[in-house]
Amino acid sequence: MKKLLLLSSILTLLPITTIHAEDNQNQNEVSQVSELPEDATPQEIVEHFAKSIFGDNLKEVKYDEETGYIEVDSRIEIGGLSLASSRRGFEGQIVEFMEAVKDLDFELLRVSGLADMTDKYGNTELSKVAVYPITKETIDKINYDKFILDNLEELAEGTFIHPEFR
């Protein structure tokens, strides 16, 4: 009985140890991304924040100084979560990115979420499942300390969210 109790205690502690190791690894990755030279261009700044917030899910980031558009395409992390929960996590990343770039000079931020979708024929491909176009004017009005994530869809002008992600 004591051996069984000891074994269950060890098994209970193993995931905790793994989580802490992963947390430390993620902190190290973020600190590596955090190094940004003082003379960084706006494109480099946008790329820096996109990489640090969206991580390995980032597919593309563009900053066009002439048009004032920032575009980010990122895979939505689904894992074992429901599609709606996954979308909510992605929206949290969008708000974090909005706050990070709010001091830059731009007119529109457009963040698109990508996910593997299977059509009625059984073919799966990476597709845009959510698009959030948000003006700089809107981003400047947000109080990020008290922002309610449920309001993001309403603030983004012309938001598209695939029905399966609702």
End-to-end CA distance of the chain: give it in Å, rounded: 49
Contacts of 59 (CB under 8 A, 6+ apart): 73, 74, 75, 114
**Radius of gyration of the chain measured on its C-alpha atoms:** 19
Same-domain status, 62 and 4: no
- 111 and 45 in a common domain: yes
Instruction: Quote the Cα angle for 60-156-143, to 5°.
Output: 100
Same domain, 146 and 87: yes
Burial of 131 (0-12, 13-18, 19+ CB in 10 A): middle
Tokens 């990122």, located at residue? 74
Find the domain containing 47 and state its range.
40-165
Residues 121 and 77 in one domain: yes
Tell me what pLDDT residue 67 has: 96
| 45 and 23 in a common domain | no
Query: Are 13 and 52 members of one domain?
Result: no
Q: Are residues 104 and 148 in the same domain?
A: yes
Q: Indicate whether 67 and 15 sit together in one domain.
A: no
pLDDT at 34: 57
CA distance 90 to 165: 11
If the chain, 166 residues long, is cut into consecutive pieces of 10 residues, what is the mean pLDDT of each piece? Answer: 35 31 40 72 96 98 96 92 91 98 97 95 96 98 97 95 91
Q: Based on the domain organization, do 29 and 110 belong to the same domain?
A: no
Query: Are 28 and 44 members of one domain?
Result: no
pLDDT of amino acid 81: 79
Q: What percent of the chain has pLDDT over 70?
A: 80
Q: Are residues 66 and 16 in the same domain?
A: no
How many domains does one find in the chain? 2
161 with 119, same domain? yes
